[in-house]
A = this chain, B = another copy of it.
Amino acid sequence: MDGLDRRTGAGGAAVTLVGLGDIRTAADRIAGQVVRTPLLPCPWADERRPLWLKPENLQPTGSFKMRGALNALGALDAGVRAHGVLTHSSGNHGRALAWAARVYGVPAVVVMPDTSPAVKIEGIRVLGAEIVIVPPAEREARVAVLAAERGLAVVPPFEHSDVIAGQGTIGLEILADLPPAGTVLVPVGGGGLVSGVAVALKALSPGVRVIGVEPELAGDLAEGFAKGRRVVWDPVLTYRTVADGVRLPAVGELNWRHIERYVDDVVTVSEQGILDAMSRLVWGSRIVAEPSGAVAVAAYTERPDVTTGPTVAVVTGGNVDPALLVRVLSA
């Protein structure tokens, strides 16, 4: 990596943050492998706070996760990569890794929690990946066992420099399309996306405000950000939210280092606000978002106090349970 920024973490260990150069390298690496999503203006928004969407639900796997997965696989030594790759995921990263593995012609194994919607499991299966279903709390342990037994390269969903750099390419694209962006709203689960986007935006346009958004029911980062330290919630709590893509009990340690340095604020949104945002995106902007994909749009509506100037909401994904979408649209 270039643009090195070594900091001393709480435990005294040196932490290397992702830099703008890493993100530019990632952008070159994944160019042509992902959709260059446009910014979509929202005529339904408040004219005093114009809103654009960054519709990453339009990526072929239905989420932004392709960016990080493709960058991580591209950065691996070819000999290592050939043995295959492995991850755990609530769905979208697993699907992205399966896609990236197919692009590179290598095997993929995805460990998934038994709470995953069927649509997400099926989306991975059809890409040819091997799927291992486990209780949520056992995901990381199972990954460690599989990696050791079968010599697979682990590509974690968010706590990984190459994944963060890949997601950061969204920040480059936002600024290319809307140089005067005032506020960028970014959903937060494990923190890979908000870390990368914040690095890119702050490096190129320090005046842009980067706001992380979580469901209230999975507000571990909002609590931690207010306290100035990473906090971990019980998964029993975070699993209450309908937004299955951001039920992580905490952001990653590496992600926290980026967030505390580059993110301006973290806010939370209600469950009803998330469902209302899904509805608004269908009727007002003609795109389908999954609940976690709609949290940034929910923040635009519920937290006008944190949006200033031209605002961008990242719509992270669209792999929604069919019954839920029909219920939301029938309301």
Which A residues have a C-beta under 8 Å from some C-beta of B? 35-43, 55, 57-58, 60-62, 282-283, 285-289, 318-319, 322, 325-326, 329-330
Contact = CB atoms under 8 A, between A and B. Distances in A.
Given A288-B287, A329-B326, A38 B60 contact: no
A40 B60 CA distance: 7
Given A55-B58, A58-B285, 10 more contacts: A36-B38, A37-B38, A38-B38, A41-B60, A57-B286, A283-B322, A286-B287, A286-B288, A287-B288, A326-B330
**Number of chain copies forming the complex:** 2
A78 B319 CA distance: 47
Contact of A60 (B43, B282, B325, B329): B43
Contacts of A41: 35, 60
A282 B287 CA distance: 8
A129 to B, nearest CB: 14
A275 to B, nearest CB: 15
Nearest to A43: B60
A58 B329 CA distance: 19
A245 B253 CA distance: 53
Nearest to A119: B283
24 contacts: A35-B38, A35-B39, A38-B38, A38-B58, A40-B58, A41-B60, A42-B60, A43-B61, A58-B285, A58-B287, A62-B286, A282-B288, A282-B325, A283-B322, A286-B287, A286-B289, A286-B318, A286-B319, A287-B287, A287-B288, A322-B329, A326-B326, A326-B329, A329-B329
Nearest to A53: B58
Nearest to A63: B286
Nearest to A39: B35
A325 B318 contact: no
Contacts of A60: 40-43
A239 to B, nearest CB: 24
A5 to B, nearest CB: 33
A22 to B, nearest CB: 25
Contact of A40 (B35, B42, B325): B35
A60 to B, nearest CB: 5
A95 to B, nearest CB: 10
A305 to B, nearest CB: 26
Nearest to A127: B43
Nearest to A126: B43
B326 A286 contact: no
Nearest to A288: B286
Contacts of A40: 35, 58, 60
Contacts of A288: 282, 286-288
Contacts of A325: 282, 329
Contacts of A61: 43
